[in-house]
Amino acid sequence: MMNRLSQVYASVNPATGQLVKSFAKTPTNEIPRIISNAQTALLELKKLSVDRRAERLLSVSALLKERAAKYGQLASIEMGKPIKQGVAEVEKCAFVCEWMAKNGPPYLAPESVASDASRSYISIQPLGIVLGIFPWNFPFWQVARFASSAFLAGNVCIMKHAPSTPQCALALEEVFRDAGFPQHTLQNVFADTETDVPLILSDRSVRAVTLTGSCKAGASVGKLAGERIKKCVLELGGADPYLVLRDADVDLAVSQCLAGRILNTGQSCIAAKRWIVDASIVEEFTQKVTAAMEKLKVGDPMDPKTDVGPMAREDLRDGIHDQVTRSVQAGAKVLLGGQLPVKFAPELVDATKAKSFASGFWYPPTLLTNVRPGMAAFDEELFGPVACIIVAQNETEAVQLANRSPFGLGAAVFTRDVERGERIVRDEIESGMGFVNGFVKSDPRLPFGGVKDSGFGTECSHIAVREFTVPKTVWIR
């Protein structure tokens, strides 16, 4: 796979482990040409008014709606996403482009300011060329939520997408081009991280970088950006706590915790990774969530009835199994799953396809209990279909456990006392987003971002419109 073959970008079907298509790495000597193309695109895009850019975003939205089935299938083939989720992801991309086109322009309008000048105002200018480094887990959404606001503001992007999703990357370049954006507004580079990313960031015309990925990758890119005095936005990992308090609606909590954990086969930065449950209801919660997990349909990601597909890569599957193994060795208990090779209950899979689980990158929905700080399942980010139950004696301990993490992306609280839940997520839990009685999700209308080791900067909402802009002072005597 690509993590072992540095000279190709390889599209491998996670359900079968078979190579679909490979692409040669962009030659390093081609990078100056790519940057030059971006400079030309930037000049062309700046000639368009904000309203004209908004019109093109609406065209992107329309094309994404038309191509949702096609692109959703592409995501399923390249990273194993269940097809119904792949289509929904593309439709969400259409939504963010439409929302930004209709709501973003006022935030880019000049602002008059009274001063000692005859006229003075703030002109919102694009920052310029942005290097975008994007992951495989939501191959369309991660790009669209950045590009919708960044392109509206007049920026262009050199995109280094994940090596395992090259066809999704090419589809994104295609759709923005087909919608009428200047050629190379979004431009792929199948680059080597260690050699080519520093080279791109060293070019003076590249003014910023945005990265969605691991803390390790974020620290590396953040260092490169700092050394070169470049704007940097980092959306990194998470270990979102879900607090189920003693007055919670247990049935609601079970459904929302499970939905938040299992979406995208658990491969999401905002997944429900730590279920912190009050001791008085933990037995009921455990029984009900176990029963619900046992009913999940694991299988072919192209089957609309599938709930859980394969993991995206073999190394990711092996990595999460190692985390489960280390947690069990430290005292955690396995209630469901947690074993390789994978064996699924016959009633949950198509019997004619059962042999397929011998190939591909499958991991069973897994439930761990008796999880405590100091275990891999608590301290590390679990990027897969593994749920953890952590017992808290009261609200105070639940909040302490929630904050006992280097991450601070999202959090959720389940309680019948809505004001109580609001207070906890707003004032007490250290996170960039807090949800009451619902699972954490990104929404084009609301800011998305984290604190602590989960990174900094904002995507989505009107706040993101100015993330890659310069407020330029204009003063006239």
What residues act catalytically? 235, 269
In terms of DSSP bridges, do strands 366-369 and 206-212 run parallel, antiparallel, or are they unpaired? Answer: unpaired
> Is 180:81 a contact under the CB 8 Å cutoff?
no
Q: Count CB-CB contacts under 10 A for residue 226.
A: 10
Residues in the chain: 477
Amino acid of residue 76: S
Amino acid of residue 243: L
- Distance between CA atoms of residues 342 and 353, nearest Å: 14
- Distance between CA atoms of residues 71 and 90, nearest Å: 7
| Residues paired with residue 111 on neighbouring β-strands, in sequence order | 122
Amino acid of residue 54: A
| Nearest alpha carbon to residue 259 among 445, 25, 437 | 437
Secondary structure of the chain in HEC code, one letter for each residue: CCCCCCCEEEEEECCCCEEEEEEECCCHHHHHHHHHHHHHHHHHHHHCCHHHHHHHHHHHHHHHHHCHHHHHHHHHHHHCCCHHHHHHHHHHHHHHHHHHHHHCHHHHCCEECCCCCCEEEEEEEECCEEEEECCCCCCCHHHHHHHHHHHHCCCEEEEECCCCCHHHHHHHHHHHHHCCCCCCCEEECCCCCCCHHHHHHHCCCEEEEEEECCHHHHHHHHHHHHHCCCEEEEECCCCEEEEECCCCCHHHHHHHHHHHHHHHHHCCCCCEEEEEEECCCHHHHHHHHHHHHHCCCECCCCCCCCCECCCCCHHHHHHHHHHHHHHHHCCCEEEECCCCCCCCCHHHCCHHHHHHHHCCCCCCCEEEECCCCCCHHHHCCCCCCEEEEEEECCHHHHHHHHHCCCEECEEEEECCCHHHHHHHHHHHCCCCEEEECCCCCCCCCCCECCEECCEECCECHHHHCCCCEEEEEEEEC
- Which residue in the block uniquely carries the two structure tokens 């080519």? 196
